[in-house]
């Protein structure tokens, strides 16, 4: 399939539906907060936004390796829109989910949503390549994607730091979510787990919206979002939430970082972004984060790869639109 995609061919619609429905079978059984334990000898790579940049995704997968019983992948939302190979990206990720449901995980991003897909290209691309009904299938399956993943190390940390916030069992665990934290302090992991997400769009308020849309800020407290949706949350908000929930750190995506990643909020909030040279003009590196069974994190950066001469947002009427992520 990957070779087929690289040569510019489209899959027959029947195979597209089989892959999407195969992945759907697993997403629909997962809770809104998925628990992933990283056992001894296992690693998991956290991948940020890839935004339809298929040729960069191929390079990224060559660095991470495919999902396996010793190496899991977690894609943290915004697989589609902007880049003009969103179908190829999402079908590759969904095929891995169908094949390896316990080794491949995908969180929903704010772009796995109808209003964004109609504006930023995925709807047009899906209809162009596979027809209206196929787009509607994707739109529903996007609502079954989990909203966050709790990655738990199964061994105590190699180096114990007095500042570390650990789980009740004395282990590191990381809350992986596309956007970030909330407009109120007392939200628990259990509250997130119980969100009724299937069939629903993120909207402009509430827990689902905030999980997918919020951003960190340098100032303490909370502030207005630069996006007009969600909020911005400060380092004190992050520390209180991590302490309340026994979480060692938040890993989120949703924003370009020139180095591909940035560690913020006194080490408690890390942004990872995996679309290098975003929309062919940002000049940024991509990155991914590898976590092992002790909770140790390793950061890897990569550069953009050449792609065929199709511009970003090729399937959007009226050109590039605005650049809000």
| Within-domain flag for 181 | yes
CA–CA distances in Å: residue 271 to residues 31, 229, 250:
24, 19, 8
pLDDT of 261 > 80? The answer is yes
CA–CA distances in Å: residue 98 to residues 25, 27, 178, 188, 309:
8, 9, 22, 30, 31
pLDDT of 296 > 90? The answer is yes
pLDDT of residue 159: 84
pLDDT of residue 318: 52
| Within-domain flag for 313 | no
Instruction: State the alpha helices, DSSP H only, in the chain.
Output: 2-6, 13-27, 54-64, 86-99, 114-120, 122-130, 132-142, 189-193, 207-213, 235-245
What is the domain-level CATH number for residue 298? Answer: 3.60.21.10
pTM over cut 0.85: yes
Query: Looking at the DSSP assignment, which residues form a beta bridge with residue 299?
Result: 289
pLDDT of residue 319: 47
pLDDT of residue 253: 98
| Within-domain flag for 290 | yes
| Within-domain flag for 32 | yes
Q: How large is the angle between the packed helices 132-142 and 122-130, nearest 10 degrees? A: 130
Active site residue 111: yes
Q: Range of 179's domain?
A: 12-302
| Within-domain flag for 308 | no
How many independent structural domains does the chain possess?
A: 1
| Within-domain flag for 317 | no
Local structure of 255: helix, strand or coil:
coil
| Within-domain flag for 78 | yes
Catalytic residue, chosen from 26, 111, 254, 265, is 111
pLDDT of 203 > 90? The answer is yes
| Beta pairing class for 261-264 and 297-302 | unpaired
| Within-domain flag for 121 | yes
pLDDT tens-place string over residues 70-91: 999 999 999 999 999 999 999 9
pLDDT tens-place string over residues 108-164: 999 999 999 999 999 999 999 999 999 999 999 999 999 999 999 999 998 888 889
Q: Which two tokens stand for residue 267?
A: 């080490």
């Amino acid at each position: 399939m990957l070779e087929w995609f690289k040569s510019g061919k489209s899959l027959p619609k029947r195979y597209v539906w089989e892959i999407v429905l195969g992945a759907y079978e697993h997403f629909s059984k997962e809770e809104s907060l998925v628990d992933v334990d990283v056992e001894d000898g296992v690693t998991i790579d956290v991948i940020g936004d890839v935004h339809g940049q298929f040729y960069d995704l191929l390079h990224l997968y060559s660095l991470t390796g495919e999902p396996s019983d010793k190496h899991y992948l977690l894609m943290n939302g915004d697989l589609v829109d902007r880049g003009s190979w969103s179908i190829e990206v999402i079908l590759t990720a969904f095929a891995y989910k169908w094949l390896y449901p316990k080794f491949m995980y995908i969180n929903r991003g704010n772009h796995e949503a109808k209003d964004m897909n109609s504006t930023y290209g995925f709807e047009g691309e899906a209809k162009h390549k596979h027809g209206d009904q196929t787009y509607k299938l994707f739109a529903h399956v996007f609502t079954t994607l989990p909203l966050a993943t709790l990655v738990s190390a199964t061994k105590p940390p190699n180096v114990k730091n007095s500042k570390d916030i650990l789980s009740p069992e004395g282990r590191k665990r990381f809350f992986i979510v596309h956007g970030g934290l909330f407009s109120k302090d007392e939200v628990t992991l259990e509250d997130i787990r119980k969100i009724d997400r299937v069939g629903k769009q993120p909207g402009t308020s509430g827990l689902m919206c905030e999980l997918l849309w919020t951003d960190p800020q340098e100032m303490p407290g909370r502030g207005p979002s630069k996006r007009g949706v969600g909020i911005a949350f400060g380092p004190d908000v992050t520390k209180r939430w991590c302490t309340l929930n026994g979480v060692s750190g938040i890993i989120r995506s949703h924003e370009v970082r020139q180095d591909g990643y940035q560690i913020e909020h006194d080490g408690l909030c890390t942004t990872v972004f995996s679309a290098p040279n975003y929309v062919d003009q940002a000049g940024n590196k991509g990155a991914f984060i590898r976590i092992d069974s002790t909770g140790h994190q390793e950061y890897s950066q990569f550069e953009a790869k050449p792609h065929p001469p199709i511009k970003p947002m090729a399937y959007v009427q009226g050109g590039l639109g605005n650049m809000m992520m």
